[in-house]
Amino acid sequence: MSGFCDGLIGTTKLEYKTNLTEAIGILQEALPKTIISLIGMTNLDFMFRTLYILNKQPIPCVVDDFEMLAQRRIEEHSEAVIEIVSESQRKSREDQVVIAQYIFDDHWAPLTKSDGSFNADFYAEDNLHLSNYGNSLVAKQLWNHLVSPDYRKITNNEMMADENPALVCSETSCPYIRTPSNSVNCH
């Protein structure tokens, strides 16, 4: 966020895509039989609302249209991830794949507890990062995405806040991490 606070607009979509593509290339070159799973960034509305609701703090710096510029940049980075995954599927090797997990895309408000109060335990002390508890809930959602077909890879606030420790198990007909190519014949 400091780039925005200094009046800069952050990493452009092209820079982000170029850097991420280069990093993926390095991993694929060094690691055979690899599934690279990309996780998008947290929605800034989610973070800013958290700051305001839990601490009554305004946006962390004063820049015209900060929130709009920051959110637009995150959306551009999400578009870059979609493009990278699509491009990698067209030229992927059989033993490697790049997939995206859209864990944060549907988060627009801070998480709440079952009684409707906001769940401050999800966040670290600065309310801009996740606590250990928050990371464990995100890890659970990541696992559930990894073993679920594309049409079930949705994470909203209610699903993220679910403290049920149960993890989704792979279906017996497809007992592996789901990718577009290996899910074709799954039910």
CA–CA dist 183, 74 (Å, integer):
29
CA–CA dist 10, 2 (Å, integer):
9
174 in a structural domain: no
CA–CA dist 155, 145 (Å, integer):
9
38 in a structural domain: yes
**Which H or E run contains 89?**
helix 66-91
177 in a structural domain: no
Q: Of 154, 53, 66, 59, nearest to 105 (Cα)?
A: 154
If one counts the domains in the chain, the total is 1
Q: Specify the range with the lowest mean pLDDT, choosing from 14-23, 47-56, 121-130.
A: 47-56
CA–CA dist 104, 136 (Å, integer):
14
pLDDT in tens, 150-168: 766 767 767 777 777 678 8
| Domain of residue 25, residue span | 2-128
56 in a structural domain: yes
Whole-angstrom CA distances from 27 to 22, 49, 96, 150 are 9, 36, 10, 24
152 in a structural domain: no
pLDDT in tens, 94-116: 788 898 888 877 666 677 777 87
pLDDT recorded at residue 58:
61
115 in a structural domain: yes
Chain-wide mean pLDDT for the chain? 78
160 in a structural domain: no
72 in a structural domain: yes
